């Protein structure tokens, strides 16, 4: 099982991906600068989609691409090995947070990465099931993590919505408010999901969330 993948380009930036514990670290290095960021494994949909030249892992929350890998680089064997590991680890982390035990399911994820990808329906706030269970402890932990590590003006509306939901966890409209505010965060979504993966679980369309 490979936990690292480096995709080098002569004229473009070099992308390095590494699975470390419960996240994927991404490093993008060009001639003039280097960028690094991380994505929580728990928020990745373990079934990637294939575009013309890339394989992308989407967010469970809103369907946006969080990881984009160039197909077959540096070679097919290394690429497939890393992707299969990433798919399995993404499922395991999500199930760990959700408290689901499906030991046999990861094996079903392995297969031909070039098969036609499944259709993905983006989840909107209105799609969140009224039967969705909200755990106050998870919300409290998310609030604490965000206030500690991502406390900036952009996420203040999200923090306000989370506090409101914590006070009334059975009020579906409060959950919809959280989803609506989250969808408006734009680039800040990655930081939110990295430090508060329960938000991804809470807003996903998984019935066990």
- For residue 162, which of 139, 185, 128 has the smallest C-alpha distance? 139
Model pLDDT, residue 205: 58
Residue 34 falls inside a structural domain: yes
pTM value is 0.55
The DSSP 8-state label assigned to residue 119 in this structure reads P
Answer yes or no: do 58 and 142 share one domain.
no
The DSSP 8-state label assigned to residue 152 in this structure reads S
Model pLDDT, residue 62: 81
Question: How sure is the predictor about 53, in pLDDT bands with cuts at 50, 70 and 90?
Answer: confident
Distance, CA of 135 to CA of 157 (rounded, Å): 20
- Count of C-beta atoms within a 10 Å radius of residue 77: 10
Degrees to nearest 5, angle at CA 134 with 133 and 138? 135
Q: Tens of pLDDT along 132-168?
A: 788 899 899 889 888 887 767 889 999 999 999 999 9
Q: Which of 109, 141, 157 finishes a domain?
A: 109
- For residue 175, which of 122, 138, 120, 149 has the smallest C-alpha distance? 138
Residue span of the structural domain in which 22 resides = 4-109
- Count structural domains, the chain: 2
Answer yes or no: do 74 and 132 share one domain.
no
Model pLDDT, residue 86: 95
- For residue 81, which of 51, 50, 93, 73 has the smallest C-alpha distance? 73
Residue 119 falls inside a structural domain: no
Q: Tens of pLDDT along 157-208?
A: 999 999 999 999 999 999 999 999 998 887 678 778 877 888 888 887 554 4
CATH number of the domain that 23 lies in?
2.30.29
Model pLDDT, residue 177: 93
Residue 208 falls inside a structural domain: no
Q: Tens of pLDDT along 57-114?
A: 998 888 889 999 998 899 989 999 999 999 999 989 888 876 644 443 444 444 444 4
Answer yes or no: do 49 and 98 share one domain.
yes
For the chain, how long is the longest CA-to-CA vector?
A: 54
Answer yes or no: do 64 and 27 share one domain.
yes
Q: Is the pLDDT of residue 130 over 50?
A: yes
Distance, CA of 94 to CA of 108 (rounded, Å): 16
Phi-psi region of 72 (alpha: psi -120 to 50; beta: other; left: phi over 0): left
Answer yes or no: do 198 and 130 share one domain.
yes
Answer yes or no: do 79 and 141 share one domain.
no
Model pLDDT, residue 97: 73
């Amino acid at each position: 099982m490979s936990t690292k993948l480096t995709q080098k380009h002569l004229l473009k930036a070099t992308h390095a991906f590494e699975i470390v514990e419960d996240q994927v670290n991404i490093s993008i290095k060009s001639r003039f600068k280097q960028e690094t960021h991380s994505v929580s494994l728990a928020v990745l949909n373990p079934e990637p989609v294939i575009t013309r030249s890339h394989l992308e892992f989407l967010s469970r929350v809103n369907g946006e691409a969080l990881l984009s890998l160039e197909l077959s680089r540096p070679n097919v064997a290394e690429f497939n090995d890393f992707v299969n590991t990433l798919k399995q680890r993404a499922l395991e982390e999500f199930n760990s947070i959700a408290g689901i035990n499906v030991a046999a399911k990861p094996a079903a994820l392995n297969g031909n990465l070039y098969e036609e990808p499944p259709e993905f329906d983006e989840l909107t706030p209105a799609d969140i099931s009224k039967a969705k269970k909200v755990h106050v402890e998870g919300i409290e932990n998310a609030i604490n993590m965000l206030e500690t590590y991502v406390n900036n003006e952009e996420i203040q509306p999200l923090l306000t919505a989370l506090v409101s939901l914590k006070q009334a966890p059975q009020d579906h409209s409060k959950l919809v408010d959280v989803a609506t505010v989250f969808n408006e965060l734009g680039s800040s979504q990655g930081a939110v999901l990295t430090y508060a993966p329960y938000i991804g679980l809470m807003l996903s369309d998984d019935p066990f969330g």
